[in-house]
């Protein structure tokens, strides 16, 4: 089971480095296109994305079938949300907006079967995302074969990040720069991170490394992802589908229209042509 979890294998390698992408738009063909782009993992976003329970189920299966790890960000720290994601076959879950060590312990318990946790048994679909292993084999391996990732994006979690990093069964501390910046009073503005936010991100990385965990972060471009990889982060989101789609379409349109000067020339040329045509039509 662990061998099928591409993200887990990457995180447990020497460098621990892995790159992923964010899926916010629905559709299994969309999921497959993302998964075939070379990323180690695709995160299906149920917190802020246009993803409902049915879409999540289908997307997880599609991503796993393409050889990437399907990761699901649930909407909150609720047992039933985590259970639905894992029973769909997610290789890991990301749980947002946690504040305390107790919150994290609860989150971990939702991802583990008794006696380590409180997850109910019913992996009819989940086992298919791990090479279609028998359900009872899934039960034996799931606690170690599934990744538990918590987001550090509140001032309370940041203040307690060293203790949070010590929680057994937790795999990754994942920094959410946008929410974290807002919560500590130093938000990202015009795409620039304040120094206090950079310090907070470095604090999360140190806490993870000092306690045998991995550190992850959400990025908005390949350049930014490379920068955080060089800093030592491990589970790195490179981009989100909606952002890349919009940026790619806009860039193509700008290229098609040409430069401002070229566009102005064509407009003027067209205007002259219209004047000439109207003159020929006069008696």
C-alpha distance across the termini of the chain, in Å: 85
The residues near 68 (Cβ < 8 Å, ≥ 6 apart) are 6, 34, 35, 39, 40, 41, 42
Within 5-162, strands assigned E span 18-23, 41-45, 69-73, 92-95, 147-152
Q: Rounded CA gap, 191 and 160, in Å?
A: 27
Q: Are 236 and 17 in contact (CB under 8 A)?
A: yes
48 tagged catalytic: yes
Give the three-state DSSP class for 17.
Answer: coil
Catalytic residue, chosen from 48, 57, 234, 262, is 48
Q: What b-and-e string marks burial along 224-255, b requiring 16 or more CB atoms within 10 Å of the CB?
A: bbeebbeeebbbbbbbbbeebeeeeeeeeeee
Q: Which residues are part of the catalytic machinery?
A: 48
């Amino acid at each position: 089971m662990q061998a099928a979890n591409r993200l887990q294998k990457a995180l447990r390698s020497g460098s621990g480095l892995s790159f992923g992408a964010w899926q916010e738009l629905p559709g299994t063909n969309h999921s497959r296109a993302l998964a075939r782009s070379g990323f180690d993992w695709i995160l299906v976003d149920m917190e802020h994305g246009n993803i409902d329970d049915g879409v999540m189920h289908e997307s997880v299966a599609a991503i796993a079938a393409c050889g990437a790890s399907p990761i699901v960000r649930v909407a909150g720290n609720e047992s039933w949300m985590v259970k639905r994601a894992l029973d769909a076959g997610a290789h890991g879950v990301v749980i947002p907006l946690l504040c305390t060590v107790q919150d994290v312990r609860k989150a971990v318990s939702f991802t583990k079967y008794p006696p380590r946790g409180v997850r109910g048994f019913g992996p009819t679909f989940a086992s298919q995302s791990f090479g279609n292993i028998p359900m009872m084999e899934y039960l034996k391996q799931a606690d170690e074969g599934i990744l538990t990732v918590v987001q550090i994006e509140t001032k309370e979690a940041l203040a307690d990040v060293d203790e949070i990093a010590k929680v057994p069964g937790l795999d990754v501390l994942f920094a959410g720069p946008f929410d974290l910046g807002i919560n500590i009073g130093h938000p990202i503005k015009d795409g620039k991170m304040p120094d206090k936010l950079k310090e907070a991100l470095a604090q999360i990385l140190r806490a993870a490394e000092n306690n045998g965990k991995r550190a992850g972060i959400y990025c908005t471009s390949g350049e930014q992802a490379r920068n955080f990889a060089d800093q030592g982060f491990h589970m790195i989101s490179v981009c989100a589908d909606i952002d890349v789609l919009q940026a790619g379409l806009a860039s193509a349109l700008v290229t098609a229209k040409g430069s401002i000067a070229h566009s102005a020339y064509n407009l003027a040329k067209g205007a002259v042509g219209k004047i000439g045509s109207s003159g020929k039509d006069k008696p």
